[in-house]
Amino acid sequence: MITDRQQAWDFAKRWFLPEPRKWLSKKLVIAGLAMISAPFWEPYLRALFSRYTGIQATPSDGTAGWIILGLGVVVIGINWYVDRKSALKVDPALAADKEVIEAFFSSFDMDTLDLFFDYGKSMYIYMPVLYYYHGIQGVVESAHFHLNDLELEVEVEGLFAGLSKALSQDEYFHECSNEELQKFDSKRDIYRYPDAREAHENFRSGVYEGEAHLKKLNQLVKAKFPGFDTNATSEVAIAKRCRHESHTLGD
């Protein structure tokens, strides 16, 4: 699914491709500690080296280790200062966009949208998406909805447009044995009836367009708002749906 792949890629980048300044500080500290602790392990290494090569290695000077360790600590201090300064420089437009994006992502469950797109490629509507679609619609069509970042706005509106395009073809679908699914009606021959063909193509293109916009939106959000947690926003959306269903059943 989109979120799983994105999270795996984000983890791989943080682990294998850290920021150069942070990577340098870690390497300096590790190298410095290794050299300082040499008196504990170096005699065994020199003994093995001498045994198998016949060459007597000169003991290392611990001074260099302290210098390297000191440099590592200095770089860590610089990194802390740079990160703190960056955190203090809050762009008002970016902060406002983050609030809007949090409200938008809190209107739907990511896993449900992923399932809708997966089933949609086989011409099924995953019905639970309807509740979240109306939530998305409520946010996007709200008078307070505004994004300063044009890239974010394009992807948010593209996702909404893709979902709207696909779900507006519901009259061409019928119920299945699985109450959570509806399938494109096989009696609507897309090779004989132009309207059925158009509905079929619109649903399919809406699914693919919506999925592409969601994937791009995820990438932008992760880049522009480090630490943004789509799992947390999905939990908010699910909790809203549970409260809505409990009230509906109560009525």
Query: Is 0.85 surpassed by the pTM of this model?
Result: no
Which DSSP letter does residue 91 get?
A: -
Tokens of 33: 């500690």
- Give the residue-averaged pLDDT of 222-243: 94
Q: Please tell me whether residue 175 adopts helix, strand or coil conformation.
A: strand
Express each pLDDT in 121-165 by its tens digit: 999 999 999 999 999 999 999 988 999 999 999 999 999 999 999
Beta bridge partners of 181: 126
Q: Please state, rounded to an integer, the average pLDDT across all residues of the chain.
A: 82
Express each pLDDT in 27-67 by its tens digit: 766 766 666 666 665 665 566 656 666 556 555 555 666 67
Q: Are 28 and 68 in contact (CB under 8 A)?
A: yes
Q: How far apart are CA 203 and CA 70, in angstroms?
A: 62
Q: Which of 109, 115, 137 minimizes the C-alpha distance to 181?
A: 115
Percent of the chain at pLDDT exceeding 90: 55
- Give the residue-averaged pLDDT of 226-234: 94
Regarding beta strands 173-175 and 124-126, do their DSSP bridges make them parallel or antiparallel, or are they unpaired?
unpaired
Beta bridge partners of 124: 183
CB-neighbour burial class of residue 73 (10 A; exposed 0-12, middle 13-18, buried 19+): middle
CB-neighbour burial class of residue 80 (10 A; exposed 0-12, middle 13-18, buried 19+): exposed
Express each pLDDT in 83-108 by its tens digit: 666 655 667 888 999 999 999 999 99
Read off the pLDDT band of 233 (50, 70, 90): very high
Q: How far apart are CA 93 and CA 87, in angstroms?
A: 15
